[in-house]
Amino acid sequence: MNVIEVKKLNKIYNESEVKVQALSEVDLAIEQGEFTAIVGPSGSGKTTFLNMLGGLDEPTSGEIHIGGTDIRGLSSSQLIDFRLRNIGFVFQAYNLIPVLTAKENVEFIMELQGVSKKDREARTMELLEAVGLKGRENSRPAKLSGGQQQRVAVARALASKPKFVLADEPTANLDSKSTENLLELMEELNRKENVTFIFSTHDQRVVNKARRVITLEDGKIIRDIRKNHTI
Amino acid sequence: MILAVAWRNIWRNKTRSLVILVAICLGLASGIFYMAFYFGMVDQRINTAIKTEASHIQIHHKEYLSNPDKKFMIENAGPVGQEIKRVEGVIATSNRIILNTMIQSPETGAGVKISGIDPEDEKQVTNLYSKLIEGTYFEDGKRNPIIIGKKLAEKLRVKLRSKVVITLQDMQGNMTGAAFKVEGIYETSNTAFDETCVFVRRSDLAPIMLMDDHACQEIAVLLEKNDQLQVADETIKSKLPDLDVKTWREIMPEVSLIESSFTLTMFIFIGIILLALLFGIVNTMLMAVLERAKELGMLMAIGMSKVKLFLMILSETVMLSLFGGLCGIVLGWILTLWFGVQGIDLGAWSAAYKSLGYDTLVYTRLSMGISFQIAGMVIATGIIAAIYPAMKALQLNPADALRIDM
């Protein structure tokens, strides 16, 4: 079953002045449980594509269906609510709320969803344990290493029980060991809980772990490789 | 959790938050203290007006105030006074013979208002006896004592036991006069009053004027509290429809005007302080929002609604204003309570203040109700100050905000 379907997606920046075609006629379908890496040189359109999939940016034309919903038809407020309930985000710079502890950062998104305190606390502890941060739940981001912060970000992304997680260069600021640990964690979550992960990355280690690798160049998909076979 | 985030956000940049908190605190404390100072001053002026000059209510013949001729008198002042004493809230009454005439010393003369009083009754109504700086209050027992103000004594160049002559026209129109001996010299906070008002015994003045013992030109009424003024005024008016009953507000409209315009003036003053603080708060919050653009973009990206984002920034601003405001109110109150006991001595400007009828030792005073109103104004300022920074935050595009390098 496809969790994401993209048809004829185009994104043109600076439409009135110099036109920059960031995405061009992109067609893509991603199934539930995929572990996908989107690769390509800088400026190839990776982040733009992820922003489109996350409903953070509007395409110039084309369709994006997520779980059967055409997100182009949603208003700005509906999109925010849609993201809250369907999409998990992991950012390159972690982007945790600095004034909240690790536990509170994970809980925060569930509070926005209206989950009860009891359920929030239970799921938060379960997720922090899953990402290996049990015992650090009361630490603020500034007291955690980059790798630990990104683990909190992964826990936060999963807290809302999303249909898929978008991770924009999640390992770019991590050292080798942290990268390895994070990838193992996400791979395990993908395998055990069937969470769909979509990364944009330059990191060969991420590419090696991915079971599907989509290569973008000049806003176009030039390669879409599933490990063991090529489309 | 939004409130917790808002509170912690305030303390992310402690220096900046403390600067604006101190500004709010000092601004409000100064405003409150100034208000308390002015309230104290006006309150003392009103007290002086009531206790020394006019009392709460005055009763005259219908024609007297428009034409203060001695012939317009209250004939049966004794029974009228008894009737008034039965009104709820009335503590005491004093029947006065009032005469505007000339007083002369061996060296010079002056126009004065003579009040012929029953010393014991007057003692119940006004505090003239407590204002004596020299001599005694009709205790000598000798004939024709007079109590005059310090300013008049200086003008006439007289002192205790000096003789002065009062020239007047009796009820039959004959010019007459009598010598009085200065028994006491008083000083109030109103030099104009001290210069023009003299007091003699009614029992001395009535025979000189050939006036009936029971008649007088004025009945002064003292109430238990100023709050009872309106009810007592209406009751006395209904009991004495043939006489002119007036409150101190009508008799001394200039004092009443100070009282009525004062509160409005003070709120405008506090409003100006808050307006200045408003721009400080907007500046601080705008910096806080722009600094956190990436974080706010992330919050919108992960699903924080615009309403909640707005509420978070609103809460930060309101908490900042309220915290600073409460500190300011507490500091203002401490100053008010301290100077309410110690008083503020304006001795250096005593001549100017006394000529306007104000005491030179001012005791600050403020009501709790006013403090709550000021707290309300602070909250309103916080809410208004939050709007622009919050609107700026809502205009952020999450994708653009997330690209910002902080």
Residue B315, chain A, CB below 8 Å: the answer is: no
Q: Is there a contact between A111 and B1 if contact means CB atoms under 8 Å apart?
A: yes
Q: Which residue has the tokens 């009828």?
A: B357
Give tens-digit pLDDT for A25-38.
999 999 999 999 99
Structure confidence by residue, pLDDT tens digits, B286-317: 988 888 898 999 999 999 999 999 999 999 88
Is the confidence metric ipTM above 0.90 for this complex? Answer: no
Closest alpha carbon within chain B to A56: B399
Helix (H, G, I), strand (E, B) or coil at B170: coil
The pLDDT of residue B38: 86
Whether residue B302 and residue A109 make contact (CB cut-off 8 A), yes or no, is: yes
- Going by C-beta distance under 8 Å and a sequence separation of 6 or more, which residues neighbour residue B332? B28, B29, B30, B31, B32, B33, B36, B366, B371
Share above pLDDT 90 across residues of chain A, in percent, rounded to a whole number: 47
Residue A2 has pLDDT above 70, yes or no: yes
pLDDT of A85 higher than 60: yes
Report the percentage of chain B scoring pLDDT > 70. Answer: 98
Give yes or no for a contact between A13 and A2, defined as CB atoms under 8 angstroms apart: no
Distances (CA, A) of B188 to B42, B71, B126, B364: 15, 30, 12, 20
- Write the residue in B4, B294, B300 that is nearest to A80 by C-beta: B300
DSSP-derived secondary structure letter, A210: -
Please indicate whether, in this complex, the C-beta atoms of B5 and A100 are within 8 angstroms of each other.
yes
At residue B388, what are phi and psi to the nearest 5 degrees?
Answer: -65, -50
Residue A231 in this model has a pLDDT that exceeds 50? no
Whether B1 has its CB under 8 Å from any CB of chain A: the answer is yes
**Domains of chain A, start order:** 2-230 (3.40.50.300)
Decide if pLDDT at A143 tops 60: yes
* Burial classification of residue A80, based on how many CB atoms lie within 10 Å of its CB (0-12 exposed, 13-18 middle, 19 or more buried): buried
Is A121 an interface residue toward B (CB < 8 Å)? Answer: no
Question: Is it the case that residue A230 has pLDDT exceeding 60?
Answer: no
In B105-174 the beta strands, taken as DSSP E runs, fall at 109-117, 132-135, 145-149, 163-169
Closest CA to A160 of A127, A130, A206: A127
Determine contact: A98 vs chain B, CB below 8 A.
yes
CB atoms within 10 A of CB B147: 26
Residue A60 to residues A13, A52, B61, Cα–Cα distance (Å)? 9, 10, 91
Neighbours of A172 (CB within 10 A): 16
Q: Which amino acid is at B332?
A: G
Average pLDDT of the residues of chain A:
88
The tens digit of pLDDT for each residue in B51-71 reads: 887 889 999 999 988 888 888
pLDDT of residue B213: 77
- CA distances for B256 relative to B45, B107, B251, B259, angstroms: 10, 38, 9, 5
Q: Nearest-CA neighbor of B364 among B35, B36, B45?
A: B36
Domain ranges of chain B: 2-49+256-403, 63-241
Phi-psi region of A18 (alpha: psi -120 to 50; beta: other; left: phi over 0): beta
Query: Tokens in use for B151?
Result: 């300013």
Is the pLDDT reported for residue A229 higher than 50? no
Q: How much is the average pLDDT of A54-58?
A: 89
The CA distance from B6 to A64, in Å, is: 35
Using CA atoms, how far apart are residues A38 and B338, in angstroms rounded to an integer?
71
Say if B311 is an interface residue toward chain A (CB within 8 Å).
no
- Parts of chain B with a pLDDT under 50: none
What's the angle, vertex CA B45, arms to CA B42 and CA B50, rounded to 5? 125
pLDDT of residue B225: 87
Q: Which candidate, B116, B100, B102, B99, places its Cα nearest to that of B166? A: B102
Q: Do residues B208 and B372 lie in contact, with contact meaning Cβ atoms separated by under 8 Å?
A: no
Note the pLDDT of residue B399: 83
Average pLDDT on A20-28 reads 90
Give one word for A167, left, alpha or beta, with left for phi > 0 and alpha for psi -120 to 50: beta
The partner residue sitting opposite A89, judged by closest CB among B1, B12, B302, is B302
**Residues in chain B closer than 8 A to A77 (CB atoms):** 305-306
pLDDT in tens, B268-282: 888 888 898 889 889
CB B263 within 8 A of CB B43: no
The predicted model scores a pTM of 0.72
Using a CB-CB cut-off of 8 Å, the residues of chain A touching B4 are: 100, 104
